[in-house]
Structure 1
């Protein structure tokens, strides 16, 4: 029986690279997204995969998505909570700094938690849960403190969930990518890691049942935060 994988936000960037990496290993893959045009492009490139239009912040959309997966595959083995958004907010500048804050928190934090519960209730015997957070989950960026906050929240959720699910044999893996070359970072300068490389590191960490996948510049981040916290926080926070 093929392994079945669901990836939220799987039509571009890291999500797409993960989808293609899982498919290369022979898995049956379902992705979801909000843009019909990107879903159509994904389906054209990968006709054997399942592309579902769904806004994961909508309870009704999440339930409908899981029904489609159940009808198509009958089960789910791996859930990848990848969908997210990066919003810069300067609280020192004044103005309407918290505009659309509820949507940012919902997409980056609340929806993954809710979807996790819904998936586990339906398929308690699944193999793994993967959460895409960020190096900014450990050091919040100066230009986007709310992004750092929600990713830190998801990091904490994954950590506690890992202990809860360990007796059930469900592996919880957290992916902490650095700056990655994706459509979301197109206007951001700096050294960027390829999405394909991030996906390769993630699948290796999954196979080895590691707690974290740390590609590129994040590989030494936990260690450096212990050895030289002030210096590394200054470097990372300003990126």
Structure 2
């Protein structure tokens, strides 16, 4: 992925890592379209960054995605980068009497189907553009899960596997496929407590490291991994999987 001169669509770009990436790409001179559910945040972001475009998108609604795809084809035919960053996370207690699977279904719909739907909508455009890239956000929890967030971790493990297959299928097509697998970062993904948790990596530090990796094309196997990601990513290969799982999921 080249660092500048792109037309980039960021889904889930109104908050958290998605927003920080959209701002970082815009600051480097790229045309950025941010898509998300909350119109007030879209308006705020566009007002703060002239030239950045906000567009409403509900990935659970196929009609909403069709409207966005039609608008992008008409207004931004040079689109060459899709950053699929929309995601939700909720704890689940499957041992309890009240677990009904509804949160798991919502997580799968947004985290898995949302990425698949966005890719299907924009891949035909990307195939026609030079320097095209798809980057989807998974998680370091794809490699060693936190058991209290079972569907979230599983959704990210799905993306890790699916992106490998997509990358292989597109190996003769000029579309680069990247996986961004963040560690625990100070966002409000699981609530305000995470945003202030000193154990979490500061958001600005995470995005700065990601942008440096992208700038150096330093993403072997298509995986964009900051230094904090490596321990969980390679825990099984290093023979530390069981110890890492226990440390993350104490009794």
Query: Are 1:146 and 2:151 an aligned pair?
Result: yes
* 1:1-239 alignment runs, 5 A limit: 2-126=5-129, 127-185=132-190, 186-188=192-194, 189=197, 191-207=199-215, 208=217, 210=219, 211-227=222-238, 228-237=240-249
Separation in 2 of the partners of 1:220 and 1:19? 27
User: CA 1:230–1:101 in 2, change beyond 3 Å: closer, same or farther?
Assistant: closer
Separation in 2 of the partners of 1:204 and 1:177? 14
Unaligned runs of 5+ in 2: none
Q: CA deviation at 1:217?
A: 2.1
User: CA 1:63–1:209 in 2, change beyond 3 Å: closer, same or farther?
Assistant: farther
Please say if residues 144 and 232 of structure 2, whose CA atoms lie closer than 8 Å, have aligned partners that are also in contact: no
Separation in 2 of the partners of 1:98 and 1:18? 32
Q: CA deviation at 1:184?
A: 2.1
Unaligned runs of 5+ in 1: none
Matched residue pairs, number? 238
Please say if residues 92 and 103 of structure 2, whose CA atoms lie closer than 8 Å, have aligned partners that are also in contact: no
Secondary structure in 1 aligned to 2:50? coil
Q: CA deviation at 1:229?
A: 1.6
RMSD: 1.9
Please say if residues 90 and 97 of structure 1, whose CA atoms lie closer than 8 Å, have aligned partners that are also in contact: no
TM-score (norm 1): 0.92
Offset from partner CA, 1:7-50 (integer Å, 9 cap, x none)? 01111110111011111221000011111111121111112111
Greater Cα offset, 64-73 or 76-85: 64-73
Q: CA deviation at 1:84?
A: 0.5
